[in-house]
Amino acid sequence: MSPDIEQAVHLLKAGELVAFPTDTVYGLGADAMNPAALAKIFAIKERPLDRPLAVLLPDVRFVTQWARDIPESFWNLAQQYWPGPLTIILKRAPGMDDILTAGRDTIGLRVPDHPVALALLNAFGHGMATTSANLSGHPSPTTAQAVRQELGSSIPLILDGDCPLGLESTILDLSGPEPTYLRLGSLRP
pLDDT for position 152: 85
Reference 27, options 89, 87, 73; nearest CA is 87
Say if CB 108 and CB 174 are below 8 A apart: no
- Taking the C-alpha atoms of residue 67 and residue 160, their distance in angstroms, rounded to an integer, is 31
Q: Is the pLDDT of residue 177 over 90?
A: yes
**pTM for this prediction:** 0.96
pLDDT for position 188: 80
Q: Is the pLDDT of residue 72 over 80?
A: yes
pLDDT band at 40 (very low <50, low <70, confident <90, very high): very high
Say if CB 144 and CB 133 are below 8 A apart: no
Sign of CA dihedral 133, 137, 142, 145: negative
Superfamily classification of domain 3-183? DHBP synthase (3.90.870.10)
pLDDT (mean) for 16-20: 98
Q: Is the pLDDT of residue 123 over 80?
A: yes
Reference 87, options 63, 103, 64, 69; nearest CA is 63
Sequence ranges of the domains in the chain: 3-183
pLDDT for position 25: 98
Say if CB 29 and CB 128 are below 8 A apart: yes
